[in-house]
């Protein structure tokens, strides 16, 4: 048997699909990953968001039923594709913005692959968003750091590099960000009224 990556073992999973033979296969295979599976049919509006992965049929109202704003997903979404003989609505798929798709008939390897891929993409995008957030914060704090450096260079006759090293060592000692120390220096300087 395929060894299951630990990050997809024992997840909380929601399945919104008809409970026919293929639906039963999906639920059974997910349970084999020790997932706690909750089943809904028809898909509720909104779909539940307190879950790790959401397997949902590509119903026309799917994008509107998702319990989050596009770009801020709360769970990994796997779209269950309609049977191949029905017309495929690619625009609907694009709007649902899933992390993975799963084609019928569902097979054990395909279900596992979709689950692993969806969770890995979901986690990766979350890390990227976190990185952008931190970058934004750093960009904002850079002005404070520049000013704090100038203050230290003037008041303590430090060289630019030493001034930065001082701010960084204070930040490490106090377990706060470099930006926070810089802002404190600028504020304190203003309070004392030195120029």
Partner 1 sequence: MARLQHRGMTSEPWRVGVLFSTTGFMAVIEETQLRGTLLAIDEINAAGGIDEREIMPVLYNPASETSAFGHYAKRLMVTDDITTIFGCYTSSSRKAVLPVVERLNGLLWYPTLYEGFEFSPNVIYTGAAPNQNSVALCRFLIANYGLRFYFIGSDYIYPRESNRIMRGIIRSNGGEVAGERYVGLRAKPADFLPVMRDIQELRPDVIFSTVVGDATVALYQACADAGLDPKVTPIASLTTTEAEIRAMGFDVGEGHITAAPYFQGSGGERDASFVSRYKKRYGEDEPTNMCVEAAYFQVHIFAKALEATNSMDTDILRPMVLGSSLDAPQGRVSIDASHHTSLWTRIGRANRRGQFEVLQQSRSAVLADPFMIGCG
The answer to the question of residue 70 lying near partner 1 (CB under 8 A) is yes
Strand ranges across the sheet with 76-80: 36-40, 12-16, 53-57, 76-80, 100-102
The CA distance from 134 to 90, in Å, is: 34
Q: Nearest distance from residue 70's CB to partner 1, in Å?
A: 4
The answer to the question of residue 109 lying near partner 1 (CB under 8 A) is no
The answer to the question of residue 87 lying near partner 1 (CB under 8 A) is no
**Which of 77/112 has CB closer to partner 1?**
77
The CA distance from 16 to 38, in Å, is: 9
Among 49-57, 112-120, 134-142, 172-180, which window interacts with partner 1 (CB under 8 A)? Answer: 134-142
**Which of 64/176 has CB closer to partner 1?**
64
The CA distance from 122 to 128, in Å, is: 10
User: Phi-psi region for residue 175, left (φ > 0), alpha (ψ -120 to 50) or beta?
Assistant: left
According to CB under 8 A, which residues from 1 to 60 bind partner 1? Answer: none
For partner 1, which residue of 103, 143, 156, 174 counts as binding (CB under 8 A)? 143
The CA distance from 41 to 56, in Å, is: 10
The answer to the question of residue 192 lying near partner 1 (CB under 8 A) is no
Q: Nearest distance from residue 67's CB to partner 1, in Å?
A: 11
Measured CA to CA in angstroms, residue 29 lies from 34, 36, 79, 106, 110 at distances of 9, 11, 16, 10, 10
Among 6-14, 27-35, 92-100, 159-167, which window interacts with partner 1 (CB under 8 A)? Answer: 92-100
The CA distance from 105 to 22, in Å, is: 7
Residues of this chain that bind partner 1 (CB under 8 A): 63-64, 69-72, 90-91, 94-95, 97, 136, 139-140, 143, 147, 186, 190, 193, 195
């Amino acid at each position: 048997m395929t060894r299951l990556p630990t990050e997809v073992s024992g997840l909380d999973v929601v399945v919104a699909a008809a409970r026919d033979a293929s639906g039963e296969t999906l639920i059974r295979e997910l349970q084999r990953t020790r997932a706690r599976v909750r089943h809904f049919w028809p898909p509720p509006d909104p779909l539940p968001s307190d879950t790790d992965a959401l397997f949902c049929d590509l119903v026309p109202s799917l994008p509107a039923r998702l319990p989050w704003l596009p770009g801020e997903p709360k769970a990994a979404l796997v779209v269950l594709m309609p049977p191949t003989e029905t017309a495929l609505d690619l625009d609907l798929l694009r709007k649902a913005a899933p992390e993975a798709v799963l084609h019928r008939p569902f097979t054990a390897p395909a279900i596992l692959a979709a689950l692993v891929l969806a969770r890995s993409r979901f986690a990766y995008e979350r890390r990227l968003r976190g990185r952008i957030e931190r970058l934004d914060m750093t960009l904002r704090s850079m002005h404070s750091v520049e000013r704090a450096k100038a203050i230290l260079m003037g008041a303590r006759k430090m060289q630019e590099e030493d001034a930065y090293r001082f701010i960084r060592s204070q930040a490490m000692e106090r377990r706060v960000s470099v930006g926070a120390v810089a802002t404190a220096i600028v504020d304190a300087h203003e309070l004392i009224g030195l120029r």
